Structure 1
């Protein structure tokens, strides 16, 4: 699959039919990709919230620091980072393709601005409301219980993005689906091969893919982590390219993907 996507040969960290995982710098790998090959992008970039603070996990106080990849020295550096990867994603996205990006107050305003600066038009601002968020230990503000997911397309009058309106309506008891999605944090059963600090629940990625992709579409995740996007793609028979710079997380990704049984046949 990667032969028709990359401008030079890259050896994947893991590969099976319709799925390739690459270990390395996301910027370098994105730059090596051919233009307009990707149908849909899902990105869960660093939120840059590692500031030495504390949160609650499993009833215990834990440090919020996730690693060097989640810290940055200034707003300007954060915004430059977001503009750079978003522009690279725009290059590889097909004219009618769309991009989904997760974030919190720590990064989402920069992401939204970078999208518009890079020539994207935001379609929806999804609010993911968590039913079981960790408590606020400081007790000096409201409990953080939501994340934002921006859905955008290229800002071009000819762009015609795909949206499976009827399916979303059928999944919502015959009513138009709203832009507030409610559900739990990632289940422990989805972390049986190992833990990633910002792993998204499978139901969230399944809804995103069912809403905006067709059977056999090619999906890219430039910060794939433990690869919930890849798991959802294999389950729903979408083709997938995942990139991450951490071999430990890609090892978890490999085992998760190998354990999945597809639900539908790929056609086209």
Structure 2
């Protein structure tokens, strides 16, 4: 049997794995699915069409699956989907999606989400990210794998943050941030590469050399974005071991709708 505190209010229609733990005064709605090994702290509210995977640790006072803060929302059965092994600290608020997008807000696996983080409707957060205290994601934001978002940082709606990005404390992110970069400030500025993070993740010296070259082409040689793109596209000939990293950056540039931070 699930370990459910007697003061918790769990709707009979909710799908709760037998190994789930639910703390005192938590409220679980009828369309909620909680996977094996997940723990829900005291006074949490999990509502809406919310699916949460395995081995997540949700601390007290979190609010997950509430209606989006979008005036166009008209009660449609949109969703929140959270993967496995995430840590979600106190007072986090994650909202469901809207029909104006894909109708789902999605968080991947192994994310470390600190207190007071807000993830708005239709956001897509990848895997192995860190969102520090009071990071705020507006609607339709995308944060890719291994990104680190500093405390008190705000991300404008429809903005993308690439993989392995590190955004410093209290940054104002209103343009897309390409993979591997380190940014901070208001207005936002690209300060360099997230080299320490890449080394910790096992990037070889050869891959790092190619990423450094991409950074120079984008930010240090005075090239137009089009010229920098063409020069980066030619790099695999000299850096075949970094072909996937080069393709990742080029794909990000090709799909950027808001323009990149430069």
Specify the TM-score bucket, using the shorter chain as the normaliser: under 0.3
Higher helix proportion (structure 1 or 2): 1
After TM superposition, the score normalised by the length of structure 1 is: 0.23
Name which one, 1 or 2, has greater alpha-carbon Rg.
2
Structure with more relative contact order (C-alpha pairs < 8 Å, separation 6 or more)? 1
